[in-house]
Structure 1
């Protein structure tokens, strides 16, 4: 006979068989229907397969309006030894779930922002209670899971699991939740503003979708007829862009927080963080910047935080094998036994003028605190003025000139083509004939003056001649000329110049 049901195909294996089922059936004989394959749930809900049926799940939003109520149908046969609930709220006090049947009761509530669990059932008088240490009203999703340690016992300890924490065994004992099978009324979201997600009692879902008919025998069904707002939505708290200075608004369900950009703080990122508050400048004054600070270091310190002492011994001037000791904006010299002074430049014991110390080359000796010292004449240096300062080093003479050093001066011996104090004048240039700038100006001026004088003199001579030629226009006859000449010759001898006229 054909063992596979619902269109399943039997596949024979070694001494056995298995059924290859259609997509919407499962089980060894394809006897179990996979309801969600046919997509039976309305939009915005999720189909979950359960034994012998399915359920359509969705989160729901509540706004302090009337609660919703559930009861079991008469076909629930399993032991109700567990509970799971997802919730999200900012309410400090509200009832998430409550149920009562005579002396048995169940309550999950929020009290002063903490989660409260209270179970009183079975033959236990004390019951089980739990109050979370941490607040659960931060607008984030939270999950509470409760289960009996011994589900088959009339009374047992219960284990709680809140938001991924380790299992916590609760104080007291209580029985299972089978009293809910007796048509007890289960109330959800009483005076509650927020969202509820999955709610399961004994593994059976309490769905928020509107009055769907499910095939499975074991169900919790809505007894109230109000419409539930599916999905979890809160007020659009970020619509007004409440965060300042490029802060990012985070929607926390009917509230918000601001993730501030670097350098800002405050509820709305309105305050510039004082980066100098922690006194980061070790040896300096701090100036606050946006998301930064700047240190103005005291003398002798460097670095971002002025925490690095400058090594003043890098360029120390300690002499005679002395040891440099770094300080703050300075250094000191640790002298060998035979030297003293700020730089260990003085012999010890101190030398004295005329006794054990002499200045050379005309230097003047004076006795000071650290001993005798020389004031050298120009051109000499050294401890005893013994060094003639070489004016030829470096060579001041140009164009191959040879430098001759002498006392406090030098002389350049120039090659044949150059002249000047530093052999810097080429004899082939006009400047070579007039080495002095004064001469270069005076010679052209003198030549110009002579030229002008000559022109003036020639002009005066020509003017005088012209004047003499133009005086009188009378022309005598030959006889008058001869007579006059005889008379004049006898009276006055004409000068040579006059004869020329």
Structure 2
């Protein structure tokens, strides 16, 4: 037996009933609204909190003006005004009469002697028509409905099964509430107007509704899909797949019909064992052959060698479902179409070039100095007469020519254009110059002698045939000689002067002194006599 594991908030055999969370919870000064696995409280004016159990002391907000005394009783406040003030908050002077529009909520003001009177509209009371009447005092809501007085009128929250007249309105759906708000809750509710049956027809029964479900659906609201596959409706091992409100059967290759109840011609085994039979109708079928077989009943073996698939002389050998090729030496691949590269690796040595052949290779040793199958044998170039006019020395992989006088080049095969022959004839074109730097260049596999011309003074050009105009010039020797002589002379004069100064300085500070004969014989002279200069002193 199957058991339904209900989601939170639902109960019943098929989880079709919602649990009333308000049954065991109380909202004190408020109204409980049932939801899905939860409830909420709509508090009356003057109360707050999750359970509407917190009374709000509105006097703490000092609503009374002009010295009015505030008292708080059952969620409401009242202002006891001084004699000269009126109003719900003592906000209006009595002496202002109607000029200041003291009447509230659209009330009409009338002056009476030294004061005024407010003619209040329906729903309001008080000196200034600022007090809202409690419309619920007359119990206008029927059948156990809850009455709420608000905005100059009343509102009824109906119990399940009741509603008001057509002009009634649906209240806000708090947490999934199913209760309806209307004028008086004096009319039985038609539950089918909200189309509660998802996949069925709705019928109102007493204070509830009943759903006649379509085929494939069940539940209070016909929103539960029936899994028909648990009854195994598909015959002959057909595979059942459940769909919303229905199901379908997937039959094997031998059966047809919505429930795989029709026997097909494939049961007779028309495709032998070499194919799969696909039933098209009860009497027709199609054979899908396995690899290697063909024909309407898959009774013919395919010969894959008929198309000659093997290339390059390969031999074909067929088998059921395919073929194989025996390749000749040098070829590979499924059809022998790939030539084996015999040059893979270092086959040719000493710079030889490998040329791939069928089932083999060749080494091109040209220019390497070696020969042989793999270019490993040294060539004796001297034995082959490589040096035409010179002495030959064989080297490993090469050779060296020592050319005779009058010849140049790798093989000494080209005459030196700068050296005259036995008849004193030259092969250069230096008309007014000397042939220098003879060398050999190769053009179209031919060795050609090249050279340069060093021209005589007064000539130029590639072959020294152009006369160059002479220009007067002063030789560097004519300028450098006198300058060098002048520098040497100045150096000598400087040295002589330095020596003279040095000698005179030494005489002034060194040597002996002796008086002259004149100084010794004449000891006195008259003051007025003319003095003659004494002879020069002698320094010894």
Taking structure 2 as the reference length, the TM-score comes to 0.25
Taking structure 1 as the reference length, the TM-score comes to 0.26
Relative contact order (C-alpha < 8 Å, sep 6+): which is higher? 1
